[in-house]
Amino acid sequence: MTRELTPDLCIIGGGSAGLAIAAGAQQMGADCVLIERNKMGGDCLNYGCVPSKALLAAGRSAQLEKLARQYGVQYGAPTIDFQGVHDHVHGVIAGIAPHDSVERFEGLGVTVLTEHARFADARTVEAGDARVRARRFVIATGSGPMVPPIPGLDQVPYLTNETVFELTERPEHLIVVGGGPIGSEMSQAFANLGSRVSLVDMARVLPNDDPEAAEVVRGQLRADGVEIHEQVKVAGVAKGADGGVEVTLADADGERTVAGSHILVAAGRRTNLDGLNLEAAGIEHAKGKLTVDDRLRTTNKRVFAAGDAAGSYQFTHAAAYHAGVIIKNALFRLPAKADHSALPWVTYTHPELAHVGLSEAKAREQHGDSIRVLQAPFADNDRARTERRTDGFVKAITTAKGQVLGCTIVGESAGELIYPWILAVQQKQKVGPLAQMIAPYPTLGEASKGAAGQFYTPKLFSERTRRIVRFLAKLG
């Protein structure tokens, strides 16, 4: 028999966005139905942020012996048990999974349906034997790996972020297609764990980041042994003679072949919209993306979109932010709007690359040459020098009057160091408080204070200042 459910809110997707909305709304007194056809926790827990950072940690630990030599400490090269690495990654996932589980959410009072969801009409979703007629709906179906139409790719076994963490044996030679954050992180992790790695991209590594900062990461990837092939087209993929794969690359100089044991496709993401029957609900979408307004409403105003399903900001922290915006709109009828101008992102290579606000190039487009570029290298930071972690810099962009427009940090712990700059961009603050703060010594955070202080350097050490000092000196 068909079950008729009439909750306040029906959320389709049990990933980061859906779980945050369901937990928050239910605890605020709303009656919620959550529908998830696959794994609770979504991409972040099972295939993305959690396992990738666990693998990066394993790879980084394998390189500690090299770092120790710089400190005058020597011990034997590590022995890598890749089955043990696999178990570490999945142990981390298992440790977090209860927080995202069906049992936890049912304990909160949420009705969880482990079924495929599809719209029957503008106000009804069907899932298994249930018909859900909710006051509001949220599409939080996340995204999956995009597999480009490379000739021959469908004829060979290939990995994506959804399968690469199942490996229990180390790839001899991993070919990574895509030089974005996922491709760069996985290239470094596997190289550090002893695989030969070839990284291929049709543009350049980390194309959406500050070129100067991306060059620092690129240099470290090469130092870790990653072979980088940029501005090349993947013309074809074929089975190798030894059971591996052969990838044909093409550029202005012609074609060449790279032979490897495995291929990882990390060439972008696509929104998971298949089978939702969006047309029945009057929900428009184009090129695989939902049409949403600044309140995260679809063209059916009863239906919101959150997380990866809401657009191009495919970050777990964006999903959490969207949850707050949607709860304000759906539960409290407040016209809250999503503002992504202070949305940060971090690539967790070593060194890390973090960014918030406008890049130098975007700032010049919007404000011309009146902007100020403030930069402090980690090579001038005493803490970085004591730890031999001097690659990288803090680069802040301000208006001529000192308002912080954006910041890029590449270096040790960049993802942690970006915090005060996020606040400055979000609150439209001037650079003064950062320059005047008392920073503990020696810390990496002093680099941010140093960059901020550069805004005042030209005036502070100007001829006018020297004249004032000389004049005051004459007064005794």
Give the integer Cα–Cα distance in Å for 308 and 290: 10
179 has binding-site annotation: yes
412 has binding-site annotation: no
Exposed/middle/buried for residue 184 (C-beta within 10 Å: 0-12, 13-18, 19+):
buried
Query: Contacts from 98-107 at CB under 8 Å and sequence distance 24+?
Result: 100/14, 100/19, 100/40, 100/41, 100/45, 101/40, 102/40, 105/14, 105/19, 105/22, 105/23, 105/26, 105/34, 105/40
DSSP 3-state percent helix, strand, coil across the chain (nearest 5): 40, 25, 40
244 has binding-site annotation: no
53 has binding-site annotation: yes
- Segment (H or E) for 275: none
Give the integer Cα–Cα distance in Å for 330 and 353: 35
- Calculate the CA 356 to chain-centre distance: 12
- Calculate the CA 327 to chain-centre distance: 23
Residue type at 11 in one-letter notation: I
65 has binding-site annotation: no
142 has binding-site annotation: yes
243 has binding-site annotation: no
CB 229 within 8 A of CB 249: yes
91 has binding-site annotation: no
Q: Residue 221: phi, psi to the nearest 5? A: -60, -45
Give the integer Cα–Cα distance in Å for 390 and 447: 11
453 has binding-site annotation: no
152 has binding-site annotation: no
24 has binding-site annotation: no
240 has binding-site annotation: no
Q: CA torsion, points 273, 279, 283, 285, in degrees to nearest 10?
A: 50
Q: How far apart are the first and last CA of the chain?
A: 96
Name the DSSP class of 109.
Answer: T
301 has binding-site annotation: no
98 has binding-site annotation: no
Residues 6+ apart with CB under 8 A from 237: 150, 151, 152, 153, 155, 156, 158, 245, 246, 247, 248, 263
Give the integer Cα–Cα distance in Å for 209 and 444: 22
Give the integer Cα–Cα distance in Å for 324 and 434: 28
Binding-site positions read 53, 141-143, 178-185, 268, 308
Binding-site positions for FAD read 53, 141-143, 308
Binding-site positions for NAD(+) read 178-185, 268
